[in-house]
Amino acid sequence: MEIKIGLELHCQLTGLQSKLFCSCRCDYRGMSPNTNTCPICSGLPGTLPLLNQRAVDYAGMISIALGCKIPTSVVFYRKNYFYPDLPKNFQITQYNAYGISSIGVEGKVDYGVKSSKIKRVQLEEDPGRLVYGNTNLDTLIDYNRAGVSLVEIVTEPDFSEPKDVRIFLNKIVSTIEHLGVSDTRLDGSVRCDANVSLEGGNRVEIKNVGSFRDVEKALRYEITRQKTMSVRDIEVRSETRHWDDARSITKQSRQKEEEEDYRYFPEPDIPTIVLGDDYISSLKAKMPELPHERKTRFLGVYGLSDHVAQVLIDDKELADFFESTVKIYPSSPTEIANLIVSDLLGLIDDSAKEQRSIFSGLRIEEKHVAELVRMIDQNVINRNIAKMILSKITKTGEMPSHALDEMDASIIDSKDVISETIESIFKSEKSAVRDAKQNPNAANFLLGKVMKLTGGRADPKIALNLIKTKLAVLE
């Protein structure tokens, strides 16, 4: 049964100082309700919007990064619908009509071995925010967010697997982070609506999804729901459904509006914006390094593996942390990257990763990782001890050398000490010794016993060589 999934990703341009059409602060978070407003964003009669030019720049940069064409002129439209969070009862947005398009069209984004087409990228104003109480009758409205610059990225219905949607969304967010136009870690700065249909059936839109993990879960539920209805010959209605995180289900919200229901018409208070070829060229010239370009550099300059480089560039904060650490200790970029990807990420819980606040709650800085890797290189500690120290210092914030002194966990590289340990293991693990004589790979079991008895402090190379030497002389 064919599944079609399309996405509408909304990204606030938090890098701006003011809203899209007025001078009110873009950063509304933490402010008292309805204090970040003015006559313009409140939609009072007689007011005129004044377009934020930097918002156009940022939207254009996103369009370029997503492989979109940028027209030489754009027009704003009024999207008319009546909802409490829209103080004007219409939203100023963009719309492809009459040969005039949004700021970006016909893009394409590769993610892994797959790709998805971008239908359009449009610049619009964010509505206000509804604050729900304990009952359906207890709902308040906060207009502080109304008028904040918002970029909407609309894909073609190219997805058929919910897991692909999550991978794609992470790719888009990584791109936006590298552009520096939005802080995606802020609550509500990136939001996603998903449209799903089966076998050409009616399209259902899923809204109010809090995280990319929940987008995947909501799509899985909705696909199962529609398949079940199809088997029972129940019509799937075109509607908007909300994701109920507590019950992990989608629930009906309202009948789905069609495009004609919004009665689009050109915004009379904003004339056609002529961009021109020179403007587009200048915009391309000041584009920062994008994730795929950064990955290529990581592979060539630092000699990282494809997997490790991909993990790093998937989150800008992580990639920045890596490069800052290399500046402190440039001798071992590969070891630094492996320590971050293999060990440090293992100490970060999934909720922190989902909120894209990688180091939230961890008392770790670049200087800690740099010193830890230097200690490995100088054979002061091995990787097992490094992992133990890393786990400790992320909680205490102390330097690795200080943590090592407290742990008394320096490497045992004395052959005599290691040989004594091996001797005792050979006596207690006679069956394993016989196996190792016949199969050299079984010697790793004996090495594991040595590391366990020494608390991970034995030099594994020395220990393995001693084990092999002893096996060779046994009759």
Decide: 29 and 68 in contact? Cβ < 8 Å.
no
**In this structure, are 452 and 390 located in the same domain?**
no
Residues 41 and 109: beta-carbon distance below 8 Å: no
**Which of 27-41, 388-402, 430-444, 457-471: highest mean pLDDT?**
27-41
CB 192 within 8 A of CB 7: yes
The per-residue pLDDT for 99 is: 63
Helix and strand numbers, DSSP H then E, in the chain:
16, 15
Q: 119 and 23 in one domain?
A: yes
Q: How confident is the model at residue 228 (pLDDT cuts 50, 70, 90)?
A: very high
User: Are 33 and 39 a contacting pair, CB within 8 Å?
Assistant: no
Domain extent, residue 465, equals 415-473
Question: Residue 350 pLDDT > 60, yes or no?
Answer: no
Q: pLDDT, tens digit, for every residue of 305-323?
A: 999 999 999 999 999 999 9
Mean pLDDT, to the nearest integer, of 158-174? Answer: 95
pLDDT winner (highest mean) among 172-181, 389-398, 418-427: 172-181
Does 88 share its domain with 151?
A: yes
> 395 and 427 share a domain?
no
Residues 72 and 161 in one domain: yes
Residue 475 has pLDDT above 70, yes or no: no
pLDDT grade for 413, boundaries at 50, 70 and 90: low
Tell whether 46 and 160 lie within a shared domain. yes
pLDDT score of 182 more than 70:
yes
Q: Mark which of 283, 304, 336 sits at the end of a domain.
A: 283
- The pLDDT of residue 257 is 67
Average pLDDT over residues 226-251: 91
Say which DSSP state 459 is in. -
**Distance of alpha carbon 329 from alpha carbon 450, whole angstroms:** 32
Let me know whether 374 and 232 are in one domain.
no
Report which listed range, 204-213, 267-276, 348-357, is most confident. Answer: 267-276
- Greater confidence (58 vs 185) lies with 58
406: amino acid identity, one letter: E
Better-predicted residue by pLDDT, 30 or 100: 30
Number of domains in the chain: 3
Q: pLDDT band for position 418 (50/70/90)?
A: confident
Are 8 and 143 within one domain? yes
* Mean pLDDT, all residues of the chain: 89
The residue out of 283, 311, 334 marking a domain boundary is 283
131 — alpha (psi -120 to 50), left (phi > 0) or beta? Answer: beta
Q: What is the DSSP string of 394-453?
A: HHH---HHHHHHHHT---B--HHHHHHHHHHHHHH-HHHHHHHHH-GGGHHHHHHHHHHH
Q: Give the end of a domain, one of 251, 283, 315.
A: 283
Highest mean pLDDT among 250-264, 323-337, 448-462: 323-337
pTM for the predicted model, two decimal places: 0.84
Quick one: pLDDT band at residue 169, thresholds 50, 70, 90?
very high
* pLDDT, tens digit, 9 for 90 and up, residues 105-116: 999 999 988 999
Characterize the bridge pairing of strands 90-94 and 76-80. Answer: antiparallel
Stretch among 112-126, 131-145, 196-210, 452-466 having the lowest mean pLDDT:
452-466
Q: What is the DSSP string of 67-136?
A: T-B--SEE-EEEEE---TT-TTSEEEEE--BTTBB-SEEEEEEEETTEEEEEEEEEEEE---EEEE-SST
The whole-number pLDDT of residue 161 equals 95
The mean pLDDT of 59-69, rounded to a whole number, is 96
**Range in 14-28, 78-92, 343-357 the model is least confident about:** 343-357
The verdict on 356 and 216 lying in the same domain is no
395 and 419 fall within a common domain: no
Give the percent of the chain with pLDDT over 70: 94
Q: Which amino acid is at 458?
A: A
Q: What is the pLDDT of residue 472?
A: 77
Q: What is the pLDDT of residue 346?
A: 86
Burial level of 256, CB count in 10 A (0-12/13-18/19+)? middle
> Is the pLDDT at 70 greater than 90, yes or no?
yes
372 and 389 Cβ atoms separated by less than 8 Å: yes
Q: What is the arrangement of strands in the sheet containing 204-209, beginning at the earlier edge strand?
A: 104-111, 114-125, 149-155, 3-12, 190-198, 204-209, 239-244, 249-255
Judged by average pLDDT, the poorest of 58-67, 215-224, 402-411 is 402-411
Same domain, 355 and 467: no
Structure tokens at 356: 């894209």
Higher pLDDT, 253 or 119: 119
The CATH number that applies at residue 460 is 1.10.10
Per-residue pLDDT at 414: 62
Same domain, 423 and 386: no
Mean pLDDT of 285-290: 94
